[in-house]
Structure 1
């Protein structure tokens, strides 16, 4: 007894579907009432479909231009050759010439917006080519000429099925209509049906092969796009998570740093106090937390593009001297010798972003200190040639095993030594930021040379700028005693903590949490503030721009320090007065004191 066609289809559809998709069968159970389609193409939501179309057009626009240009040139050359050999009639010449000129016009039209017309131009180009073949055949009216004409459909099919502007349905419709139109024209000029069958069969096979190839190409392109979108979405989700987590923890961390600094100032004159060592350890732990969340914010800002580049001439000696002052105490507590060799001959400056470059080198030095149990750390910038400097951060630490060489720049990677070392902490994201930031800076590159148990050498190559040797004056010790500081922040805990911290430094402090409170506080003042410290984003859609304007209207120009955990756009920073500095939360007491002194002019 024969098998019903429905049963036969049901039994054979799965292996056919598996073959066409080129992958294993999905394990998802389909509802019984859902029909199984052999030719199934992945579909996206409206936004993803729009992005997929835009990406496809941008990728294949160049190919379409080349096809149109070559087609018009070849068609015009073919006409000229046949005119020379007297093989074409005037009507055939006119038809082919119009087609060639039309293709050339379409090529020129692709260079003008909008890009949304690309799909229409691709379809029109293919249709015009088919119409031209049909017109030549009808005008000539010679049945013997059909054999030479229908072969001209083959390159048109290659173009139609090879390009990706038209949808797969539109491409198949075009192929079938073209296969029908040309034999129909042959029939109209008197060609017998039997004589048309070979060309129809061949064109049918070409359409079938072209459709299958295009179908596989469509499946592959859509699967790649979907996987890439998934990866991008995961990266965006991770970035949003880091941004939200870091922002939520920046405020309490800043308050902790302020209280720790106030405690340190309170016991600085009591060397025998048993709490001094505990306060020192507390400060180090808070600084480590601050650095960790700064790294998280740096990575998130780099990935989202919010950490914009501000390229300028950076004095490498000034930068290294500042970092030496910052890391020397940390190295000394680990029993390490930190050696910083400044340049004594040009070039002295590099073309870079001072903030990002400082963060890169800071991470390298911090990493060297944490992975060096004893010995030394050497930081020096050597001249490669007149246009490049190479910064070396070398250490006598544990080195890097060969099998871990490719892992150290991955996020959250920590070496075995650190995991067993109770004196070091961190999440293992410092080097991840170094790599991302180095790739972001133009003409910067990073290399690592290391042998296990023989230390490491991180080398940062940078573009140098030939400028005269600047005269570097030694930095003076910050003295903020007696300075009048006006602080604006929406977080009351931050205001209280900074009040305690700055009061311990001998400053006079006044606080406010909004523009209205700022106006009220200024009305009671007998003197103008020496420095304004304000967060950038405040409640009620107020920003630092509003606070600065209020201060200037009452007191004139006042040095300002923006203390914020958010990434501030270049457009907003351009609106600040010239005497405005930016410092990101959470900031340690040492860094805050240095920036305050710099803003006031006492450091």
Structure 2
């Protein structure tokens, strides 16, 4: 910390009277001096390597394509206006006007080329150099052909718009721009001198052109420095985002795979503990399964928030049947509410509208998080889930509870990551990391026409209101999808390159009565199919496998050997819409880690789709 001293005290020290140290002797030869005063050094213009330099100019040319086209059009119109004005005033004959007309046609031709050429952005540098050089040459040539010295004072100011054109934008490289400016500043006075003007007569034009060029060089250097700095910062952000995306993808795979295996093993253990000899372990198995489900939910929320923010997970807006969604959520959360002694009340729609426009998966997670939050925060009473029409094209989903409520001054805080309520911090029965509502807030930001509002007072409970757009009319559906099924004797082929995951899922399906075959690659899949005496009833495959193999390869091999087979893609990573579009009709997708009841319900759907196809045939 610096402490100021009084002036008298300051000058009393010996160092005050000591002569300042001589600056170090700097020796520069003429070549180094010239290099030190180049525009790139004077204006600190960032320099890139060859690849980055090419990307920088490609991006600049895409931005500058439209301004260059209109600059050419305006330049052609300006030349044409001067020609017509000279004809009108009698300063030019028709022959002279015809000699000056080609530059107008040439500039319009360049405009037409940039307008319709598919590779116009790659030609901006050449087009800009050509148009500027020929325009300046045209002015000089017309002046020399006329041979009248008095036209010089009318001609040289026409260079000024060209300087604004070249210095004010980055159509040409910095070297080409400076070369054009100073060469025309030299050529125009030489043409005037050739016509017989004295040096004294030329001094005003020389000074004006030189001053404009000096300011132009400064402006252009500052413009290029700013553009390059902006591009460099943008590249840094893109690289960080790319690294974050790659990290999340790797993290997603490395976490979801073992979590899916844990979920499968927990389901097998829970089933085994129902036997009379192991009933004393049933409680422990149930608690372990519950802890794994909570861990799965927390990991999914963290990864989904990251995927939404970096654009890896993009909402797919479709028509979502609200009654089916609410019924599924009721089946999912009714046991959790009953365990806490709460009454979960779900009001299905009895009249249109029955559907909303949203992403079915994200919407289910949003409402599920709101329900989970309401159940965990409510000590006694009820939780209500209902859908109410609030306008011509709006439906509002309410999640209300009889809990303690939230004070107004902290309502904005609950949507931040890792924020938990005071009661939950002191309640060991209320699990979670405080990221459920953070996911809700992030998801709402990425879903169009979705709004979330909260009404709450201490002691009055909470009412979360999710407003979304109504989808086109569809018939009501009140029944929830089947959650269980009889899989005895069903042959299931599982393909996954993770041996632990393969073993865990095999154990779970065998516990449900399935006959299971496994493979870890495309080659192993073909060997299993070659030994088969019956067609598999279901194919369950990971999407990304080793050796750059994907589910597309597995599906093609199975269909080529067995014909159409129901397919369930069980993947730890997000899958793009282009890949989904290549799947056969009726293919189902689940993200790892999937809970056992969700996995069972999806398998039932896939097998039902097969039976429906068989009946239709």
Whether TM-score is above 0.5 comes out as yes
Give the SS at the match of 2:518.
strand
Counterpart in 2 of 1:512?
Answer: 519
Alpha carbons 1:536, 1:544 under 8 Å: kept: yes
Cα gap change, 1:423/1:473 in structure 2, threshold over 3 Å: closer, same or farther? Answer: closer
How far apart are the structure 2 equivalents of 1:521 and 1:38?
71
In structure 2, what is the equivalent of residue 72 of structure 1? 76
| Corresponding position: 1:538 with 2:545 | yes
Q: In 1, distance between residues paired with 2:174 and 2:414? A: 46
What is residue 104 of structure 2 aligned with on the other side? Answer: 100
Which residue of structure 1 lines up, in the alignment, with residue 500 of structure 2? 493
Which residue does the alignment assign to 2:113?
Answer: 109
Verify the 8 A CA contact 2:76 2:107 in the aligned structure 1.
yes
CA deviation map 1:88-111 (0-9, x unaligned):
234542344222222222111111
Q: Could you tell me which residue of structure 2 aligns to residue 478 of structure 1?
A: 484
Whether 1:253 aligns to 2:245 is: no
Counterparts of 1:153-552 in structure 2, within 5 Å, are 153-268=159-274, 273-299=279-305, 301-302=307-308, 305-307=311-313, 310-369=316-375, 376-394=382-400, 396=403, 399=406, 402=409, 405=412, 412-415=417-420, 417=422, 422-424=428-430, 430-431=436-437, 433-434=439-440, 437-441=443-447, 443-449=448-454, 453=458, 458-486=464-492, 487-518=494-525, 521=528, 527-552=534-559
- Asked if 2 retains the 8 angstrom alpha-carbon contact of 1:561 and 1:599, the reply is yes
Q: Are 1:91 and 1:139, in contact at CA under 8 Å, matched by a contact in 2?
A: no
In structure 2, relative to structure 1, the CA distance for the partners of 1:556 and 1:294 (3 Å cut) is same
Q: Is the 8 A contact 1:364 1:458 kept in 2?
A: yes
TM-aligned CA distance change 1:427 to 1:473, over 3 Å: closer
Distance 2:322 2:94 in 1: 76
- What is the CA-CA distance between 1:550 and the residue it aligns to? 4.8
Q: Determine if the alignment matches structure 1 residue 137 to structure 2 residue 143.
A: yes
Moved more, 466-475 or 561-570: 466-475
**Is the contact made by 2:128 and 2:171 (CA closer than 8 Å) also made in structure 1?**
yes
The equivalent position to 1:55 in structure 2, one of 43, 55, 59, is 59
Count of matched residue positions in the alignment of Structure 1 and Structure 2: 577
Check whether the contact 1:122–1:166 (CA below 8 A) recurs between aligned residues.
yes
* Structure 2: stretches of 5+ with no match in the other structure: 1-21, 30-35, 612-617
2:41 is paired with a residue of what secondary structure?
A: coil
SS in 1 for 2:476: coil
Note if contact 1:350-1:462 (Cα within 8 Å) is conserved in structure 2: yes
Measured on the aligned residues, the alpha-carbon RMSD in Å equals: 3.6
Q: Distance in 1 between matches of 2:404 and 2:74?
A: 63
Q: What SS does the aligned partner of 2:101 have? A: helix
**Structure 1 unmatched ranges of 5 or more:** 11-16, 22-35
Closer, same or farther: CA 205–524 of 1 in aligned 2, 3 Å? closer
Is 1:483–1:508's contact at 8 Å kept on the other side of the alignment? yes
Structure 1 position 39 matched with structure 2 position 43: yes
Q: Deviations over 1:541-579 (max 9, x none)?
A: 544344445544555433222212133343443343324
Any conservation in 2 of the 1:375–1:397 contact (CA below 8 Å)? no
Task: Please state whether the residue corresponding to 1:509 is helix, strand or coil.
Answer: strand
Listed one character per residue, the Cα deviations across residues 43-72 of structure 1 (whole Å, up to 9, x for unaligned) are 223333233222222222222222222222
Alpha-carbon distance in structure 2 between the residues aligned to 1:344 and 1:597: 28
1:24 maps to: none
Change in 2 beyond 3 A, CA 1:334/1:46? farther
Deviations 1:482-502 (A, max 9, x none): 142422323222232223322
